């Protein structure tokens, strides 16, 4: 039975409807409850019990909800325009890239925190709850502190240490936004996993927007070139810097319902469903690639990553990409085939995780060997930390699955990834704190 069917069955029994509401509260599924309530109210317009619940939960009618969404979209557009303008000012006419040697200090230090502050402001406005606003305000304060620390300690440097700081600042800002969002709902581990998956969708949506914008700008330059008018290339740098600030919030507003928890986001259609299908098609291919790595390339070319930095970079990039793939591939609804204890899908996912663990140990051994031979550098320090972090995540997920083998494996896998993802945030913050001490 669906939630709506349960509600129809309990629509004449106050105690039954109360028990149903408390159940969905524990599951963190209140948005589904309000939607089912609205549907039942439309089907039974004279039911006083349903009318009372509509009033109790302040559920808007469809026309009211459409007005709210229209208003929210204008807020998103307005805030995105402002964020884009501030981002362009921070860039100062220099390339908007996370490279302290090329970009302005204000941009590479301020872009990630600026976007995070914009996202937090929008989420706080959408939630409109005193407790939620306090949570988002605390997260905004943390973002500002991180930006100030990075600016004061790394702002005057252009070496590898500063580059690492520039690359990790956006990630830390994203993690702070996720913490503020997920800690406001029941079962933070489940919410964290949903936030990971939704973040991939937001990033890809932003990439689509950026690609469409580049096509438009390219056509504009081409049209003016045909007319004999040459537009200055400096303006293109400003446009890209504006897009870097504006597109993250536009992408979030396009695919994320800010009034629902991460776990309640619709994933049956749109880009989320496309991503899930794509990753499940890529799952056997990824499994085959890792089998080639582990069974052939490593035994035949065992010393390659110990001697060549480029090979080690490829290994570590592969590990991170597979972790993202694993997160997306296990998302979505659980059916009998994917949720069964001994399904082929389960074997494929666990096999991919096991091979990733082997590759991770191998990569960690290679970077540790290079460090012992040539000394500790900022890059090696960062890579060792990320190797240890990803190793702990993959191994811990396996241990939790083994201990909970009588439970549905997909639920355990998702919550384990969501819980252990905090290790990545902890390491990124620790790395940023330690970087200024490298000279």
Residue 63 lies in a domain: no
* 278 plus 355 within the same structural domain: yes
Q: How far apart are CA 192 and CA 313, in angstroms?
A: 28
Mark whether 13 and 72 lie in a shared domain.
Answer: no
Q: pLDDT tens digit string along 344-367?
A: 888 899 999 999 999 999 999 999
Residue 207 in domain? yes
Q: What is the pLDDT of residue 64?
A: 45
With respect to residue 121, please indicate whether it lies within any of the assigned structural domains: yes
**Position 220 confidence tier, pLDDT thresholds 50, 70, 90:** confident
Q: What domain count does the chain have?
A: 3
Task: Output DSSP code: residue 60.
Answer: P
Contact call for residues 359 and 290 (beta carbons, < 8 A): yes
Kindly state whether residues 318 and 431 are assigned to the same domain: yes
329, 419, 426: which is closest to 386 by C-alpha?
Answer: 426
Same-domain pairing of 246 and 183:
yes
Contact 376, 157 (CB under 8 A): no
Domain boundary among 264, 287, 308: 264
145: in domain: yes
pTM of the model: 0.82
Residues shown for the chain: 439
Range name among 60-64, 191-195, 198-202, 280-284 with the lowest pLDDT average: 60-64
- What confidence tens digit (pLDDT) does each residue in 295-339 have? 998 898 888 889 888 888 888 999 999 999 999 998 876 654 445
The reported pLDDT for the residue numbered 57 is: 72
Same domain flag for 239 and 172: yes
Mean pLDDT of the chain: 85
DSSP sequence for 247-277 = HHHHHHHHH--TTS-GGGS--SSHHHHHHHH
Position 62 in a domain: no
The answer to whether residue 415 scores a pLDDT higher than 80 is yes
Residue 252 shares a structural domain with residue 308:
no
Domain C-terminal end among 264, 291, 319? 264
Range with the poorest average pLDDT among 7-21, 54-68, 82-96, 347-361: 54-68
Tokens 């204008």: give the residue: 74
Do 257 and 206 fall within a single domain? yes
- Identify whether residues 214 and 99 lie together within a single domain: yes
Instruction: State the pLDDT at residue 231.
Output: 77
Q: Which of 94-108, 214-228, 373-387 has the lowest mean pLDDT?
A: 214-228
Same domain as 176, residue 95: yes
Owning domain of residue 154: 68-264
Residue-level pLDDT at 61: 55
The last residue of one of the domains, among 221, 244, 264, is 264
Q: Are residues 249 and 292 in the same domain?
A: no
Q: How confident is the model at residue 63 (pLDDT cuts 50, 70, 90)?
A: very low
Q: Do residues 117 and 84 share a domain?
A: yes
In a domain? residue 377: yes
Confidence of residue 268 (pLDDT cuts 50, 70, 90): low
Say whether both 408 and 377 belong to one domain.
Answer: yes
């Amino acid at each position: 039975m669906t939630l709506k069917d349960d509600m129809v069955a309990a629509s004449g029994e106050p105690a039954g409807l109360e028990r149903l509401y408390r159940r969905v509260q524990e599951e963190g599924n209140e948005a589904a409850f309000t939607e089912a309530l609205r549907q039942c109210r439309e089907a039974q317009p004279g039911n006083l019990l349903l009318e009372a619940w509509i009033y109790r939960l302040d559920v808007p009618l469809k026309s009211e909800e459409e007005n709210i969404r229209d208003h929210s979209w204008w807020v998103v557009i307005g805030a995105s325009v402002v964020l884009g303008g501030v981002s362009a000012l921070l860039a100062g006419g220099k390339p908007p890239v996370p490279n302290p040697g090329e970009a302005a200090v204000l941009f590479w230090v301020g872009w990630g925190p600026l976007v995070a502050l914009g996202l937090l402001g929008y989420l706080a406005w959408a939630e409109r709850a005193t407790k939620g606003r306090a949570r988002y305000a605390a997260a905004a304060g943390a973002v500002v502190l991180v930006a100030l620390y990075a600016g004061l300690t790394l702002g005057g440097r252009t070496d590898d240490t500063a580059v690492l700081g520039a690359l990790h600042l956006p990630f830390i800002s994203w993690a702070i936004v996720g913490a503020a969002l997920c800690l406001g709902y029941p079962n933070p581990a489940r919410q964290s996993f949903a936030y990971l998956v939704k973040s991939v969708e937001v990033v890809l949506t932003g990439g689509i927007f950026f690609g469409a914008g580049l096509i438009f700008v390219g056509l504009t330059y081409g049209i003016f070139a045909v007319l004999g008018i040459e537009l200055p290339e400096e303006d293109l740098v400003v446009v890209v810097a504006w897009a870097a600030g504006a597109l993250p919030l536009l992408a979030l507003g396009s695919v994320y319902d800010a009034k629902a928890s991460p776990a309640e986001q619709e994933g049956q259609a749109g880009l989320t469903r496309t991503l899930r299908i794509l990753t499940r098609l890529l799952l056997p291919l990824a499994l085959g690639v890792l089998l080639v790595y582990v069974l052939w390339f490593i035994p035949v070319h065992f010393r390659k990553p110990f001697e060549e930095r480029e090979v080690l970079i490829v290994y570590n990039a592969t590990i991170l990409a597979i972790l993202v793939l694993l997160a997306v591939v296990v998302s979505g609804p659980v059916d009998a085939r994917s949720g069964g204890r001994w399904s082929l899908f389960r074997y494929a996912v666990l096999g991919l995780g096991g091979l990733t663990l082997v590759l991770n140990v191998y990569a960690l051994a290679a970077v540790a060997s290079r460090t012992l031979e040539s000394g500790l550098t900022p890059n090696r320090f960062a890579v060792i930390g990320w190797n240890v972090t990803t190793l702990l995540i993959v191994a811990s997920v396996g241990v939790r699955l083994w201990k909970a083998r009588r439970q549905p494996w997909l639920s355990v896998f998702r919550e384990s990834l969501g819980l252990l993802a905090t290790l990545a945030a902890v390491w990124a913050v620790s790395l940023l704190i330690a970087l200024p001490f490298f000279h």
